Structure 1
């Protein structure tokens, strides 16, 4: 039998607070105790007897994982992003003593982009819920960039720039993470003083809570990117990223190290430090000097700036450039870059390891400790898709390699989509998954609290055989072009076949089983079932739109087929409106909640509308629709209107009239400007089960009739 011990560990109150938020009053029957780590391993033990749950752990995150594992294994309930809390647990069933050790030391979380595509407008309530999720799922090393604008403002003030210039350089709040990565500046702003102050406070609160759990946050660091005023008097070069021009210092200029140190000192003063810093001086931009030794010089200057302010600094770098620009980043260049830093001063995140693992290509990153990460989602796109079976195989292979990863991570560009994938990755921080089918059955039971189990398990087996069976599929915006969120063209025809590697009838059956459970138990729609029902509906309707688009093209714009195609947008929009998080209004309202005045309101409104549509300027196609979302207000409004404009000129376009494409581009530019000015009409929520049933009958039934002819 476990003993709760005489002295509660420092993290006990923090984990107790989580337990109360998750469970309500029954959390009073949990006892927490500390335990000594063996060889630095994270461990826990739990036992339940006579209605009392006792948890002993090496740290707060491990204690939180223990609580979650107990709830899953003995209460049949898990806590996801969409779970209604508190859980319906009134007492703790007896459970024998269980000990567990983590398979890896660290659980990494986030990508710089996540802070633009998911949580740019979150408040403390959102963050508290997210940090609880992180702790319950074993996240020990979160990237933490909220409030970094206050650091940059303080550092550049010391370097002589005035307030207006610094806020202009920082740009719009929705784009700040791209500013931190050195991709852009002076765009979609300026940033307000009230935003800087409020997010300095929010960032500090986030860090306090993460550290209270025993997490080790990773803070941003200098990438060499500077304002034009500084670049004009220094050794610097210009870089281009997706049409944006920025200035970056030459590492040979002493200013590189000096500014890096000033930023790090300002950050330590405002937020403290855990000695981990994230910087990606190249990310998606070729170095300004082609000399093979130049990246190593950048590495040395980056670390020198960090160590001048923090002698214990360790640099975490995303390996994304080595994948994204592999023609430049040859093996020799990568190894020369990595070898410029001692092994104990760098941690490498293999960002897209579930699809394009780099650890084998670069021999475990030349001896550097590294993290196996799953990226999966680009820009927050809402099509559900993944190679679910490939995830455990990829992780097991990495852990069995001569240079295994120090941790596993989630580096998605956006969250709140494909939750099954991210649950599968975090589970493997503690447990191997040798049988995916058994794991999936347990996941389904726990996700819905044991309700509707038979029907929902059957539904998920159908999803595993369809959208989650994407073996070998490159799930990225450039290779997954469903027409719903694609900007129309007569010259560029979307290859919609890439998004269909399964039988639609199997997906329709899975969708119907979910609908049946929702009809039998409508209360489940408030939780994860509502989210999953929408995602499954999106998956089916997106492919229905692809098929009807091809019908329109093959019929040379037959009016009846055009009407059928456009109706998909209207019908899907009605279903999406049933869940607030699938509405454009929800996103915009969160943005405007931070407005401190009319000017601030205009910037926030513009950022919220711009990044999920044109991304940059209306005249640049480079990132147009990159963050395309299946959201009410966008699907039935913005996206539908674009395809209607396309249909009007289709006859001329198919005939090869070059003026047709020019005119279409102008009309689409005008439509984008209208959206940036006016936004989307308010969504009218309805009954999700009824709307889903209506779409299934209209589209799956119609397809069966056509296939039967």
Structure 2
């Protein structure tokens, strides 16, 4: 080891030692940790005689060192779905190795993730996630869990009673959108037991993150207030996707006062690392069109934060500058950013892999910024990405005159497309100059070296198909496909097909063959990848068969073949609990303390992944649609059956066919919100995957179908 490695117990050692035990089991007793004294972050490690010694400047660097060792010398990685502890004994020798990160920070999460992935997590879920964060170099996680307790405390001090505050906060599954100022008084009220239990959970999450040396980013006031306060103040009405909210004018002294009150309450409950996330314009035009108005909002936001915390720094997502680029002209953005001292703001370039903003707006007017990858909107469960374009995009940003201080993941939901997100986090520490070599190593480590040649070949096919989406806009409006889309006679929605489905089918078959021969890996990452690849193929099958049913004029055989896709796919999805609606709703209901709370929690779990808002509003319908068992054979299939019933009339020119379909779909949605989905019946994933592949192998070859 290099000089400067200390002998005393590092302040982060206990946290990393706990992680090591969860990852390695008893073998963790052979890992030693020491504090490394050096400028900047970094680590060093070596292994001799079955003992691994890690010296690091901080807990995250130590965890990264452990993960690098496991990947490079043990051929094993730790992903979201890796079965732990790893089957390792003893630890192999490794020569001395040192590492330093390319950027200071690794940022993680998006407000939306706390609705689309984590809203019903308990401590065991969060502990596993924080371990993943540390192993992957995350130093700056967004920490939203429990923020409702700070809002409740602040508004209580401002004179509102408990019932009114909980109505304002709304349903637990929608809280992050409430925190962003997008909605209030919706899908609630917030259950009484929720606030205190999530205050405790949020505090525990933040405590563990800090134990690793991470800097949690806490939410801050956006100007959004209850109607009672808006009625007696200077405020303006805003609209987001049909939801009406009220925002204070920054000229009203209440703006800074409430901001300070919320920050103080939060500091009392969770402490602070002086970094706060607030997005007062997230997807809403400012209530005043005066070009100087956003700067006034910035001044009031900072004034409130600094009244509670003189060292406060504001982290803001640059998403509005992309989402509403017609309003956010270069002059407006520059005027807004110039109104904020450089040392008081950190900008997250949220969708930098698709729509990078860092080269515009005079590089965010010199503000420090984060390069972030988004990819996932709403929680898509099918694989897609432009893997080859990722590393060059990051390299270009790091070579800029004002490079990012960190790289981050800002996905709206996790537990999908792990190859994309791991490729980003790897570049926090190491440059990826050869994607093919990186992918080969990723595959071998993901499956622990088992059937490496076959699985590498499968992934090369994935790279040539779903993960080769160069030049395509990867967003829900383009990639949905018919499986999770609302039916319509005006247009049959299909996802883009830029690759040969036969190549995708070959990748899937190679994975199936491995799972049939060696069932062990299917319990972990291989099972996840089997399902994702199956979804990708079956989504395009559904698109093709739906188009054929429409072209046939509603021929019963064509319609039956199309609808059977939903039933068949449902059986495969049921083989993995995380791909079942039942699992999602059970997690939500586990937080209920009484029947009335269960009703709210079930409603939230059902609503957000289907209609999102109300059953009669199309604005966010199916935005967070999921390929989940229970939904496929129930909710989604039923909707397309309703479509098929009226198809003949629609093709005959019935002017009322579309309106009648809309009414029937609304009734089906309301039924689902009341009753939920049928339970999934688990089976053997390899067998169900093989059955699907065999049954639909000739869909893209109509000339061969009759021979089967």
**Structure 2 gap ranges (5+):** none
2:519 to 519, 522, 525: 522
Q: Give the 3-state SS of the residue equivalent to 1:483 in structure 2.
A: coil
Q: Give the 3-state SS of the residue equivalent to 1:486 in structure 2.
A: coil
- Write the mapping of 1:352-501 to structure 2, written as runs, cut at 5 A: 352-494=351-493, 496=494, 498-501=495-498
Hey, what's the Cα distance between the residues in 1 that align with 2:703 and 2:412?
A: 38
Q: State the match for 2:620 in structure 1.
A: 623
Hey, what's the Cα distance between the residues in 1 that align with 2:347 and 2:634?
A: 42
C-alpha spacing 1:528/1:343, structure 2 compared with 1 (3 Å):
same
Hey, what's the Cα distance between the residues in 2 that align with 1:548 and 1:493?
A: 11
**Structure 1 gap ranges (5+):** none
Q: State the match for 1:172 in structure 2.
A: 171
Hey, what's the Cα distance between the residues in 2 that align with 1:673 and 1:190?
A: 19
Superposed displacement of residue 92, structure 1: 1.1
Hey, what's the Cα distance between the residues in 1 that align with 2:7 and 2:546?
A: 69
Superposed displacement of residue 704, structure 1: 4.0
Superposed displacement of residue 2, structure 1: 5.7
Q: Give the 3-state SS of the residue equivalent to 1:215 in structure 2.
A: coil
Q: Is the 8 A contact 1:2 1:47 kept in 2?
A: no
Q: Give the 3-state SS of the residue equivalent to 1:371 in structure 2.
A: strand
Hey, what's the Cα distance between the residues in 2 that align with 1:450 and 1:652?
A: 56
Hey, what's the Cα distance between the residues in 1 that align with 2:6 and 2:283?
A: 52
Superposed displacement of residue 523, structure 1: 1.1
Q: State the match for 2:125 in structure 1.
A: 126
Hey, what's the Cα distance between the residues in 2 that align with 1:655 and 1:326?
A: 42
Q: Is the 8 A contact 1:466 1:502 kept in 2?
A: yes
Q: Is the 8 A contact 2:193 2:593 kept in 1?
A: yes
Q: State the match for 1:642 in structure 2.
A: 639
Superposed displacement of residue 493, structure 1: 3.1
Q: Give the 3-state SS of the residue equivalent to 2:604 in structure 1.
A: helix
Hey, what's the Cα distance between the residues in 2 that align with 1:419 and 1:656?
A: 46
Q: State the match for 2:15 in structure 1.
A: 14
- Write the mapping of 1:76-91 to structure 2, written as runs, cut at 5 A: 76-91=75-90
Hey, what's the Cα distance between the residues in 2 that align with 1:196 and 1:170?
A: 10
Hey, what's the Cα distance between the residues in 2 that align with 1:362 and 1:706?
A: 55
Superposed displacement of residue 708, structure 1: 9.1
Q: Is the 8 A contact 2:6 2:36 kept in 1?
A: no
2:506 to 494, 505, 509: 509
Between stretches 649-658 and 638-647, larger displacement belongs to 649-658
Matched, 1:669 2:666: yes
Superposed displacement of residue 481, structure 1: 2.7
1:201-258 deviation per Cα after TM superposition (whole angstroms, max 9, x unaligned): 0000000000000000000000000000000000000000000000000000000000
- Write the mapping of 1:148-547 to structure 2, written as runs, cut at 5 A: 148-494=147-493, 496=494, 498-547=495-544
- Write the mapping of 1:74-153 to structure 2, written as runs, cut at 5 A: 74-153=73-152
Q: Is the 8 A contact 2:139 2:214 kept in 1?
A: yes
1:12-58 deviation per Cα after TM superposition (whole angstroms, max 9, x unaligned): 011000000000011111111111231xx210000001111000011
Q: Give the 3-state SS of the residue equivalent to 1:82 in structure 2.
A: coil
Hey, what's the Cα distance between the residues in 2 that align with 1:703 and 1:239?
A: 48
Hey, what's the Cα distance between the residues in 1 that align with 2:138 and 2:202?
A: 18
Q: State the match for 2:653 in structure 1.
A: 656
Superposed displacement of residue 8, structure 1: 1.1
Hey, what's the Cα distance between the residues in 1 that align with 2:487 and 2:705?
A: 31
Q: Is the 8 A contact 1:2 1:54 kept in 2?
A: no
1:386-406 deviation per Cα after TM superposition (whole angstroms, max 9, x unaligned): 001111011000001111000
Matched, 1:592 2:599: no
Superposed displacement of residue 703, structure 1: 3.2
Superposed displacement of residue 707, structure 1: 6.5
> 4+ residue stretches of structure 1 with deviation over 3 A?
1-5, 701-709
Hey, what's the Cα distance between the residues in 1 that align with 2:191 and 2:117?
A: 21
Q: Is the 8 A contact 1:118 1:380 kept in 2?
A: yes
1:466-494 deviation per Cα after TM superposition (whole angstroms, max 9, x unaligned): 00000011111112130000000112332
Superposed displacement of residue 363, structure 1: 2.6
Hey, what's the Cα distance between the residues in 2 that align with 1:681 and 1:545?
A: 21
C-alpha spacing 1:707/1:313, structure 2 compared with 1 (3 Å):
farther
Superposed displacement of residue 705, structure 1: 5.7
Hey, what's the Cα distance between the residues in 2 that align with 1:617 and 1:337?
A: 35
Q: Give the 3-state SS of the residue equivalent to 1:571 in structure 2.
A: helix
Hey, what's the Cα distance between the residues in 2 that align with 1:175 and 1:493?
A: 30
Q: Is the 8 A contact 2:169 2:188 kept in 1?
A: yes
Cα RMSD after superposing both structures: 1.0
1:72-91 deviation per Cα after TM superposition (whole angstroms, max 9, x unaligned): 00000000000000001111
Hey, what's the Cα distance between the residues in 1 that align with 2:382 and 2:473?
A: 13
Superposed displacement of residue 456, structure 1: 0.4
Hey, what's the Cα distance between the residues in 2 that align with 1:37 and 1:316?
A: 28
Hey, what's the Cα distance between the residues in 2 that align with 1:707 and 1:627?
A: 36
1:524-581 deviation per Cα after TM superposition (whole angstroms, max 9, x unaligned): 1110000000000000000000000110111111111000000000100000000000
Q: Is the 8 A contact 1:84 1:526 kept in 2?
A: yes
1:176-216 deviation per Cα after TM superposition (whole angstroms, max 9, x unaligned): 00000000000000012210000000000000000000000
Hey, what's the Cα distance between the residues in 1 that align with 2:99 and 2:115?
A: 36
Q: Give the 3-state SS of the residue equivalent to 1:32 in structure 2.
A: strand
1:382-439 deviation per Cα after TM superposition (whole angstroms, max 9, x unaligned): 1210001111011000001111000000000000000000100000000000000000
Hey, what's the Cα distance between the residues in 2 that align with 1:476 and 1:382?
A: 13
Q: Give the 3-state SS of the residue equivalent to 2:378 in structure 1.
A: coil
Q: State the match for 1:582 in structure 2.
A: 579
Hey, what's the Cα distance between the residues in 1 that align with 2:164 and 2:322?
A: 35
Count of aligned pairs between the two proteins: 705
Q: Is the 8 A contact 1:379 1:626 kept in 2?
A: yes
Superposed displacement of residue 656, structure 1: 2.7
Superposed displacement of residue 701, structure 1: 3.6
User: TM-score normalised to the size of structure 2?
Assistant: 0.99
